[in-house]
Structure 1
Amino acid sequence: MRFNEDYSALEKDSLGNWYHRLKYKSIGKKAYVSFGGDFRVQYLLMDNEGWNPDLRDDDGFMLTRWLLHADLHLSGNVRVYAELQSALANSRDILLPVEENPLKLHQLFIDYQPFSEIAITFRLGRQEVSYGSTRLISLRDSPNTRRSFDGIKAIYNGGDIKTDMFYLHAVVDKVGIFDDTSSPDLRLWGIFSDMATAKKELHFNFYYLGFYNNNALFYDGAGMEKRHTLAARIFKDRGSWWYDLEGGYQFGSIDSRSISAWSIALATSYHFKSIKYTPEIGIKADLISGDKDNMDNSQQTLNTMFGPGAYFGMAAAIAPSNLMDIHPNVKLFLSEKTMFACDYAFLWRYSTGEGIYRPNMTPFFERNDASSRYIGSQVSGVFSYRANKHVSLLMGMSWFDSGAYLKEVSTGENIVFGFVVAQFKF
């Protein structure tokens, strides 16, 4: 999130180049303005999107996105941040707001720090929000249009302890110019706390999330959803051995149906720094509850709410709900600037009582009478090249081999997906 960048250290840079002058322009005592942005272009080729042979793609399509921001610090305790976003989908027959949104006011908020002795900031306005491992609250950087919210947040930064309290309305993306609206029917509130050990090697996250959706839709029917999430996470992201363990429980109601859902996620890897190409070998696994019976008065479906658009890779665009999965993976650091990553994911339904969900948490298929658990497997490979702090390139391919479940509820065509991405940040 670009608003976390701090260029105040350039105040004493009297010999700064044009880029430094762009990132820091003094306009008074303790007042300055900073400008920045990024441009991303993606070429994507996908056959049998959504396991549907009618969506065969012969020549691919292109997604482009501009983000331009201005960060105005009026004093040591007042700040205004603004950002425009333009996302375009070329050669797409059906335009979706997550891919096409020609021009929108993506962020506009004001920060106010009322106390010099207490590290607390109040933020009001339109803003990006991302927490924890981003399984439930994410920026949605894929496929094209990033997500934002309207609301208020209190931010405490006490060094080793950082805590946010917030009340937000989701911004609904639309395929038009400056037509996005704050939704009264889609709300999020809660508290998120990150606690770190003295050397920052070990982190603990504890959080509560409240969620309201006036128009929720699940396999067992539609209704007004009021959901609460309690979760905890522990992760280590330094040294040769890395791990991330997260678990959560959800409760509440959907009309007259009660909610009781849960998830456990584990990711771990080891970096062999003394071997050629310093390989990093890891494994990820998830257990995510699903509804046992569509005809009863309770529901066990985990709602990912505002999760990422491509949690299991862009080829298999499904939400992490009603799933069991395991992902062995490896990374090879071919040079200081080049890396190759390979991931092999195996996916099953946790409960045969319901199907799988799209990333926006709507049912993927109309049929819900399949008996098979096995969804399929996906192998993916990605080359990444970071030329410098401004330019990065990605190239990759995925193949999804449809399992017995997909062949029961659809034609079960295998998905082939390839992409090339170039991004420039300043």
Structure 2
Amino acid sequence: MVALCACQFINGQEYPAFRPLRYDEDYTVLEKDTVRDLYDKVKYTKMGSNGYISFGGDFRTQYLIIHNENWSNATQDKDGYTLNRWLFHSDLHLSGNLRVFAELQGGQANSTEILVPVQENPLEPHQFFIDYTFSDALITLRAGRQEVTYGSGRVVSLRDGPNVRRSFDGVKAMYKKDNIAADAFYLHAVVDRTGIFDDTSSPNLRLWGAFSDIRLPGRKLNLNLYYLGFYNDRAVFNDGSGKETRHSLLARVFQNWQRWGYDVEGAYQFGSIGERTINAWSVALSTLYRFPEIKFSPEIGLKADLISGDKNRFDKSHQTFNPLFAPGAYFGLAVPLGPSNLMDIHPSVTVHFSRKITFVCDYAFLWRYSRGDGIYRPVMVPTFAPGDAASRYIGSQLSGTFICQPNRYVTLLAGMSWFDCGNYLEEVSPGENILYGFVSAQITL
């Protein structure tokens, strides 16, 4: 890997930026490059008259240490543990219409007593799909195992944080013309397991829907409109369990200028869980203002969420918002909280010490939206048994992270979080404050 990076630096070629979804990258720009080194050939090798193949991947290693995990000192890990993850993909274009994309993933957790599939999954076929693009180049059909993310990633995400990324098995139709893109899809979630090549799609965990992305270049305005259907055969909430069929209507608008940007997303959910009727909603706001003329180009940000929770666990109405396939680190890796039954506000400050070194600090304050509901893990499992806790205030979290990017291939991070328990956690748990630290290094090729 280091050798390949060195070749790149010598050549000085401007390559396309790495994308969160690696299958979105396009290296055909290298076709006309007259000076080709080893890295160029790895990223683009022509095959026949209209075909080519490209390879890539990344490796990430993390060291994490956490005290009072889950707000309890019952189990303490004084030495911490490491998480390693590697991904390797090949992108084969057999012609201008036919494409095969394949990716392997491996995740390892070391020095931890309890192995969980989102951390430990030694080897699995993470993606394998076939694309067929019609001759007008407006519509592409995709079938197979694939990563999926939509909108801001609050309800359908890659789950990049914990260790092992998420994928789905299914079909998707994609349309794109000018400033409009739209998808229609039917997918089964892939269930992660701790063995080798043993991940399978779940018949009991399904996602279907349609998504549109509309860009208005004159106003630099972006609009997302989408519908998501969701089925879970074994849903568990504080007001009971049952078969869940949930429909979500979402709208997102976001805009980004030189100094100021904002992102607003709202969702409404309806459907049923057993005999209970769903009536849930959420609103999320993120805004950022930049000061480029001041030393270190500081940025001031503010995030806020208002997410419904169930009012009465004994009635036939269910108001808990389900984030479906949310990122595993919505409020940071230190606190295992999913975005349900919450009110929160996150002021933040970002400082750019140089083009390569950035520091981000944020302070999150969290409350329960409804006293009749509890809090949930990111996988939508209740954290504590339903009780009669009176307080809404969950607590606050102060976090700071240094980010160093010496070049486009390497990302280094180091950070720490302190979670101060509020009255609610002191009522339902031992109420021990959480201290969390990590260092991370990632190489992307």
Q: What code does the residue aligned with 1:403 have?
A: G
Aligned counterpart, 2:247? 228
* 1:73 matches 2:73: no
| Unmatched runs of 5 consecutive residues or more in structure 2 | 1-20
CA distance in 1, matches of 2:225, 2:355: 35
Aligned counterpart, 1:34? 54
* 1:92 matches 2:116: no
Partner residue of 1:5 out of 14, 25, 30: 25
CA distance in 1, matches of 2:285, 2:386: 31
CA distance in 2, matches of 1:198, 1:60: 48
Q: State the shift of 1:11 in Å.
A: 1.1
Q: What code does the residue aligned with 1:111 have?
A: D
SS of the equivalent of 1:185 reads: strand
Q: Deviations over 1:264-318 (max 9, x none)?
A: 1111110001000010001111100000000000100000110000001111121
* 1:423 matches 2:442: yes
* 1:339 matches 2:365: no
Give runs of aligned pairs for residues 378-389 of structure 1, distance below 5 A: 378-389=397-408
Q: State the shift of 1:14 in Å.
A: 2.8
Query: Is this contact kept in 2: 1:283–1:328, CA < 8 A?
Result: yes
SS of the equivalent of 2:279 reads: strand
Partner residue of 2:343 out of 306, 311, 324: 324
CA distance in 2, matches of 1:298, 1:236: 36
Aligned counterpart, 2:126? 106
Aligned counterpart, 2:182? 163
Q: State the shift of 1:117 in Å.
A: 2.2
Aligned residues: percent identity?
61
Query: Is this contact kept in 2: 1:47–1:415, CA < 8 A?
Result: yes
Give runs of aligned pairs for residues 111-126 of structure 1, distance below 5 A: 111-114=131-134, 116-126=135-145
Query: Is this contact kept in 2: 1:259–1:299, CA < 8 A?
Result: yes
Query: Is this contact kept in 2: 1:219–1:368, CA < 8 A?
Result: no
Q: What code does the residue aligned with 2:34 have?
A: S
Q: State the shift of 1:12 in Å.
A: 1.5
Q: Say how many residue pairs are matched.
A: 425
CA distance in 1, matches of 2:354, 2:224: 33
Aligned counterpart, 1:129? 148
CA distance in 1, matches of 2:114, 2:195: 14
Partner residue of 1:56 out of 76, 83, 88: 76
Q: What code does the residue aligned with 2:177 have?
A: G
Aligned counterpart, 2:191? 172
- TM-score for the superposition, normalised by structure 2: 0.94
Partner residue of 1:20 out of 14, 27, 40: 40
Query: Is this contact kept in 2: 1:235–1:244, CA < 8 A?
Result: yes
| Unmatched runs of 5 consecutive residues or more in structure 1 | none
Query: Is this contact kept in 1: 2:418–2:436, CA < 8 A?
Result: yes
CA distance in 1, matches of 2:427, 2:302: 29
Which has the larger displacement, 189-198 or 236-245?
236-245
Aligned counterpart, 1:297? 316
Q: State the shift of 1:199 in Å.
A: 4.8
Q: State the shift of 1:368 in Å.
A: 2.4
Aligned counterpart, 2:18? none
CA distance in 2, matches of 1:395, 1:90: 19
Q: State the shift of 1:363 in Å.
A: 0.3
SS of the equivalent of 1:62 reads: strand
SS of the equivalent of 1:408 reads: helix
CA distance in 2, matches of 1:78, 1:199: 34
Q: State the shift of 1:38 in Å.
A: 0.1
